[in-house]
Amino acid sequence: MRPFAYVRAADVDEAVRAVAGEPGAKFLGGGTNLVDLMREGIERPATVVDVTALPLAAVDDLPDGGLRIGALVRNSALAADPRVHARYPMVSQALLAGASPQLRNMATVGGNLLQRTRCPYFYDAAAACNKREPGAGCDALGGFTRGHAILGVSESCIAAHPSDLCVALAALDAVVEVRGVGGTRRIPMAEFHRLPGDTPHVETALAPDELVTAVELPAVPVAARSRYRKVRDRASYAFALVSVAAALEVRDGVVADVRLALGGVGAKPWRARAAEELLAGGPADEDAFARAAEAELEPATVRPGNAFKTRLARATIVATLRELSG
């Protein structure tokens, strides 16, 4: 790892100032992604600002029945929160499907939002990668793409967003609260992560000095009946090939409310709006689920290594909705 200066911030403003004043400075949460990437030489910050001592580790009720989750709440603590369990089971399930218990004990909500792709060519400094080095090319194209995205990709980058939590957050229209030297902003989840386009190195809407301070979950009654289904290459401790966050309310055989988002297939956590629109107000049956899934996956760009993901995503969407409608 490249040597760096370490600063432990005592309050939010100090943290923000410390990063703003230092080009190439980085916030440090649980370290489970940043330390790994620094050791690989992929991230090379000159200053690391540890934010884990900031008072942002609480989960608070919002007046409308939603929740405000501090950016430093550990993944395990959030998964265990009874309110999350009751109101947003998909969030709890997504967290528990991610990484390992040890990593979840370390990982923070803020860090989870900003974790970087697991594209193996991104991890190998000897490979060409536009995300690491804009303009260098992309070795994943024509390479092994089993883990890569099929939705929202570009010719510059086909990396998948690796987070499980973010898929559930996307389904729930979460809002990310961030603080920079210029003040506080609220960014809807749908705008938080950016598609690669021809600037795959720009991954989020955050300015470099902006700290994620909280994530707000609005009240989403349908989410009380929700599910996160993750499909992967082993039974645990693996990233998603495909995952589905779904909430469904069926009244008299008709879809009264639905939320659907996908992981493992998108260049960013993928809210399946096309599918939701087709489903809403329609029949809650196998055919409708399949049509909705197909509509969502219609624009997929596949390669030999990840072509199976359309079929897998379709099957997983249908199975998850079937389970919720049953």
Partner 1 sequence: MSTEVAEAGRAEAVRQVGRPADRFDAPEKVTGRAKYAAEFPYPDLAYAALVHSTVARGRITALDAGAARAVRGVIEVLTHENAPKMRPLSRLNLGSFVKGTNVDYLGTDQVHWNGQPIAVVVAETPEAARHAASLVRVTYEELPAKLDFAAEEPHAVPQKGNAIMRSAADKGDAHAALAAAPVKVDLRFTTPPQNHNAIEPHATTAFWQGDRLTVHDTTQSIAFLRKHLAMRFGVPERNVRVLAPFVGGGFGGKGMVWAGTLLAVLAARATGRPVRLALTRESVYHTVGGRTPTVQRVALGADRDGRLTALIHTSVARSGGMPGQVTAASRHLYAAETVHLRQSLVDLDLLPPTAMRAPGEAIGTFALEAAVDELAWELGVDPIELRMRNEPERDPLTGRAFSHRMLREAYALGAERFGWRERDPRPGAMRDGRWLVGMGVATAYHPSLIMPAAATVRLGADGTVLVRCGLHEIGVGAATAQAQIAADALGVPLESVRVEVGDSDLPAGPMAGGSAQTASAAAGVLAACDKLKRQVLALAGPPLRGRKPEEVQARDGGLHVGGSGMTYAEILAGAGRDHVEAAVKAGWARFLARTARDGRRWVRAASGAQFCEVRVDADTGEVRVSRWLGVFDVGRVVNAKTAASQLRGGIVMGIGLALSEQTLVDPRTGRVVNPSLAEYHVPVHADIPRIDVHYLDDPDPTTPLGLLGVGEVGITGVAAAVANAVRHATGRRVLDLPITLDKLL
Partner 2 sequence: MGVTQIRMKVNGVTESLDVEPWASLLDTLRERLGLTGTKKGCDQGACGACTVLADGVRINACLALAVQYDGSEITTVEGVDHPLQQAFVRHDGFQCGYCTPGQICSAIGMLAEHAAGMPSAVGASGLTEDEIRERMSGNLCRCGAYNGILDAIKEVL
Ligand X SMILES: Cc1cc2nc3c(=O)[nH]c(=O)nc-3n(C[C@H](O)[C@H](O)[C@H](O)COP(=O)(O)OP(=O)(O)OC[C@H]3O[C@@H](n4cnc5c(N)ncnc54)[C@H](O)[C@@H]3O)c2cc1C
Q: Where does this chain bind ligand X (CB under 6 A)?
A: 26-34, 36, 51, 71, 75, 98-99, 103, 106-108, 110-112, 114-115, 162-165, 211-212, 239
241 binds partner 1 (CB under 8 A): yes
Interface contacts to partner 2, rule CB under 8 A = 1-6, 8, 28, 30-32, 35-36, 38-39, 48, 50, 52, 76, 79-80, 85, 92-93, 96-97, 99-103, 105-106, 235-237
Q: Which of 30, 147 has the CB closer to partner 1?
A: 147
Torsional class of 264: left (φ above 0), alpha (ψ -120 to 50), beta (otherwise) = left
Interacting residues with ligand SF4 between 142 and 171 (CB under 6 A): 157-159
Q: State the minimum distance, in angstroms, from the CB of residue 229 to partner 1.
A: 9
- Options 237, 273, 280, 287; binder of partner 1; rule CB under 8 A: 237
Q: State the minimum distance, in angstroms, from the CB of residue 45 to partner 2.
A: 11
C-alpha to C-alpha distance for 122 and 115, rounded to whole angstroms: 13
Angle formed at CA 46 by CA 42 and CA 51, multiple of 5 degrees: 95
243 binds ligand SF4 (CB under 6 A): no
What phi and psi, each to the nearest 5 degrees, are found at residue 270?
A: -105, 105
Tell how far CA 81 is from the center of its chain.
19
143 sits in which H/E element = none
Q: Which range of residues in 75-83, 105-113, 238-246, 264-272 is near partner 1 by CB under 8 A?
A: 238-246
Q: Are 148 and 196 in contact (CB under 8 A)?
A: no
Most distant CA pair in the chain, distance: 63
Q: Are 238 and 250 in contact (CB under 8 A)?
A: no
Q: Which of 34, 248 has the CB closer to ligand SF4?
A: 34
Per the listing, tokens 């690391």 go with 48
Bridge partners, 245 (sequence order): 228, 261
Q: Which range of residues in 79-87, 125-133, 180-188, 235-243 is near ligand SF4 by CB under 6 A?
A: 125-133
Tell me the residue type at 65: G
315 binds partner 1 (CB under 8 A): yes
The CA dihedral of 184, 187, 189, 194, to the nearest 10 degrees, is -110
| CB burial of residue 159 (10 Å; 0-12, 13-18, 19+) | buried
- Options 48, 95, 129, 245; binder of ligand SF4; rule CB under 6 A: 129
Picked from ligand X, partner 2, partner 1, none, the partner binding residue 277 (CB below 5 to 8 A depending on kind) is none
Q: State the minimum distance, in angstroms, from the CB of residue 67 to ligand X.
A: 17
C-alpha to C-alpha distance for 158 and 262, rounded to whole angstroms: 16
Burial 183-209 (b: 16+ CB within 10 A, else e): eeeebebeebbbbbeeebeebbebeeb
Please tell me what DSSP assigns to residue 179.
Answer: E
Picked from ligand X, partner 1, partner 2, none, the partner binding residue 80 (CB below 5 to 8 A depending on kind) is partner 2
Q: Which range of residues in 123-131, 164-172, 180-188, 208-216 is near ligand SF4 by CB under 6 A?
A: 123-131
Q: State the minimum distance, in angstroms, from the CB of residue 27 to partner 2.
A: 13
Binding site for partner 1 (CB under 8 A): 1-3, 39, 41, 118, 120-121, 123-127, 139, 142-144, 147, 231, 233-239, 241-242, 308, 311-312, 315-316, 318-319
Binding site for ligand SF4 (CB under 6 A): 117, 119, 121-122, 129-131, 138-140, 157-159, 200
